[in-house]
Chain A
Amino acid sequence: MSDGLFFFLQLVASGIAVGSLYALAALGFVLIYKATDILNFAHGEAMLIGALVCYTLVMLGVPFLWAVIITGGLALLFGMLTERLVLRPLVGEGQFSTVMITIGLSIFLRSLAGIIFGHDNKVFPSPFSKAPISFHGIVLSETHLWAIGISALMVILFFLFFRYSRLGLSMRGVANDLDTAMLMGISVKRVFAMTWGLSFVIAALAGIFLANVMVLNIGLALVAIKAFPAVILGGMESIPGAIIGGIVIGILETLVGGYLDQTFPGVRDLTAFVVLFIVLMVRPYGLFGKEEIERV
């Protein structure tokens, strides 16, 4: 194998690994958007707080697995509380209000996390080894393989959940038509509360995972901003789309980082947003998003 091709393949491989982290973050957006038509700008902060709470528990001497379970329970409560206090009053308001209120929520939660947990980098006592694993010379760490595996597992779980479970079906019903869902006897309040609760649980799990791969500090919340392009690329409604979008963004980012970073330092972090902009120019509703037909 020539050196150039080898470099390319290594970049693609680590791109897939990074991309599956974005995909993990993107899943939470899709869950909320599918059920409530809201894009949750505060998703990254939910990941951050989940990771910080779990870290604190582990530092207090709780075994890792228990810490994850307790964090999950707390995240469920926190998500339902958020829905009740922040989002419920705005049901039926336009997209403007929901976009703005989740932005408000996001900066509120992020700075609150900064005030309570501080800004220092924390090292998560990782249960995964960082030892590199090599396939024919292409190197990935064990954590990265876990990331890919967990993303794949999540897609299957989500697929089954929305296809077969009662709650998943009622979420789809509510998203499709709120009034009809209500007439069919679905408790919209309960569905909304469960959606936010579940998405916060997923966020917390993704956050704990990310904290293992990256450094745990306030910057963790910014991974979710990178997941926006992934969601737009894959379509806001589609779970496989979010995964594919995340991986595509991850690969593009590492490729740009690998080839252009010498000439334009830091351009890697820009890739996702340039892609997002171009996609929106060509397809205003995302690559696989469905066009909303309005009634005047």
Chain B
Amino acid sequence: MTTADRKRRLTSAIMTTFTGACTALAISLLLVILLYIAWQGIGSLNLRFLLESPRPVGEGGGIGNAILGSLVLLLLSSALGMPIGIAVGIYLSEFGKGRFASLVRFVVDTLTGIPSIVTGVFVYAIIVVPFKHFSALAGGVALAMIMIPIVARTTEEMIKLVPQNLREGALALGAPQWKVTLGIVLPAAASGIATGGMLAVARVSGETAPLLFTAFGSRFFSYYLDQPIASLTVQIYNYAISPYDEWHAQAWAATLVLMTLILAINIVVRFFTRQKF
């Protein structure tokens, strides 16, 4: 073997090791982060913590109101964002030809990349300012805007997977197109759309920035849509940047709750898609 050959092999071996090291680094980071959350969070986690509302420093208190608030926000944003997202997805896959559709597709894709803090500023301008105070409604709208592009793109992809002859068969039997789409195509793609929706929920359940000046946060139980409302993420943020050790511990415990939800959704989605494909 010549020196040049030896050098080439050595380079190859080094680079192969490098790629493996990169992968190992990423996975160990994931494990370190998750295990650290579990280790820190488990200490403060108990039933009272999950059910009570926050109290002043030194008196305990919990994240019950934040869990309720996050649920309200997720329900509201899903109710707004899912139908619109699915409709956009249907439009793109079933009618989506021509310039207008390309434009919509492009805008949906870029909308996914718009920083969520900007969405928050926008919703502040169109909802918080006219109503003159922070509200759960504003938070829900902001989260819905983040959901729409995600749901739209997964719906489009999933509907495109439905075989063409299913549509042709239904049309040949005389069904109008709306019945074909809603009654045949959509149910055939339902599980795919559902997993896309779940991922969208997982994504927005971790959003903080768009809630800071829309839903704002609250230290009380509330489900009124026209009032400020607490959320897990904003509470984690407020506790994390506070100077109190007790609140830091509560932030870790709240993070454990949030991460459990997000990981559960991701693993369930993974399980379902694995069975399907």
Is the pairing of A and B real? no
